[in-house]
Structure 1
Amino acid sequence: MTSQFVLTLSCPDRLGIVYAVSGFLTRRDANIEDSQQFSEHGSGRFFMRVEFKTAHDRDELAVGFAEIAREFHMDWQLHDRAVKPRVLIMASKQGHCLNDLLYRFRIGALHGEAAAVVSNHPDWADLAASSGVPFHHLPVGPGGKAAQEQRILDLIESERIDVVVLARYMQILSPEFCAKLPGRILNIHHSFLPSFKGAKPYHQAHARGVKLIGATCHYVTSDLDEGPIIDQEVARVDHAMSPEDFVSAGRDLESTCLARGLAAHLDQRILLNGHTTVVFR
């Protein structure tokens, strides 16, 4: 019986990396099903994603590969595809991204499990229940932001959450919260970053008379709307459209962009490269 794995790595670029990785897998009777690599000349770093099948178990592979990783100074991860990442979805008053993600999880279009929904409003309890996903109403009271975030962190620990998705969750997370989950929080911002950060970006875009609007899926850091960009989507607009028309057109952009970014994360297709990302398709 074989199992499917994904190996991702980054390291200083040098001769012999692909040879060492493929040789390691060949010696373990692994069948490589997909292999992608990228050399970033500016930073001098090498990035690689390999999907393969083998009869060897994960612990054995990890112990054996550690020697190669040390030799090439690799940052690396080995994922067993049989283990589905557990996802916490957070939303506020707007539910289009939440609804889209729950549907995609329900039909198996995303390689993960929707483990819980959190909202600072009670509106989406029935929607979550219809998908069989536990709903947690965690409002932010006056002066209670730290306490609310601690309840979320407790939920993340108790539910063994691997990734948090902000599906139009309209609360700014504290730097302390973000620091506890580096590379594990995805957000959808309703503009084509780095343009129009902050509140009401569609209204900002309308005021500037733009001809394109967009949505951006990015990792969350302590710097508002500055995290590494994962994916972006755009649509054409014109002078006859109102800010409300921009908002309406943006809903589809946001849902599509967030789902595509989350899919890439769950499939281990994203490697961080400083303030940017390498996304293998």
Structure 2
Amino acid sequence: MRYGLLAIVMICAATLGGCEGVLDPKGPIALAERQILFNALGIMLAIVIPVILAILGFAFWFRASNERAHYRPDFTYSGRLELLVWSIPAMTVLLVGGVAWIGAHDLDPGKPISSTVAPVNVQVVSLDWKWLFIYPEQGIASVNKLVVPVGTPISFELTSSSVMNSFFVPQLGSQIYTMSGMATRLHLQADHLGTYPGISAMFSGDGFPDMRFTVDAVTDDNFVQWVRQVRETGSALDKQTYADLVKPSKAVAPFTYRAVAPDLFGRIVNADMGMQGSSLSICSTSRRAER
């Protein structure tokens, strides 16, 4: 009885824990992802519940006191039973796989969100151990704080300054990796005003537990006001300030930059790609020489 109550408490805690995450979507991508989870759960319950009922039914029917139950120790094979036992799980796997496959293509991170509103472009750089958000069109940047207008698609371009990392806002959806020397694409949208937690979903070193950020979904007017305020305060993000920012640090409080050096994100991405390109050209030259 005690273990049963403990199991119920743990299930309830896990369920409530998801209420502020993937089970409480605040955007179209997260909403569609939750629907995939519910569809998969419903398909799996279609086989789990009958199996549980069948186990209870077999246990009740073949109890010692039931004289009508026939004991058949020589029974070895039944084609009908084999067909039943294997067909239902096979159908379940096909259905769950189909739901996941279709959903994965519909929610491709690089696929723009259909909207009549022009998207806001944000460039994301994962650092040790903090997040840098560059607004190229507004010419500003922020650390560990992302401000976006509600109801507007956000087009992300993401990279890493060092180790591989993972960008994830559970209530907006679509976790995606950031990698040094390359840029990945992600499109999200917040449909409700509020502040949503963002996390790094991949261990990246000592400062990983504090590698968090917030996403403030505000009205269009408040977003314009925030951009204007950022432009009037703080320092500029140039080569020297970026060199200071990229140094490892933990539990960094959010702050902003009033200006950003031109094409800073592109230079961050290409910093390692140049070396990779040289290596590739050397390999190609060696192969041609061998031929």
Classify the TM-score, shorter chain.
under 0.3
Query: Relative CO higher for 1 or 2, CA cutoff 8 Å, sep ≥ 6?
Result: 2
TM-score of the pair, normalised by structure 2: 0.19
Structure with the larger strand share: 1
TM-score of the pair, normalised by structure 1: 0.20
Question: Which has more radius of gyration?
Answer: 2
Structure with the larger helix share: 2
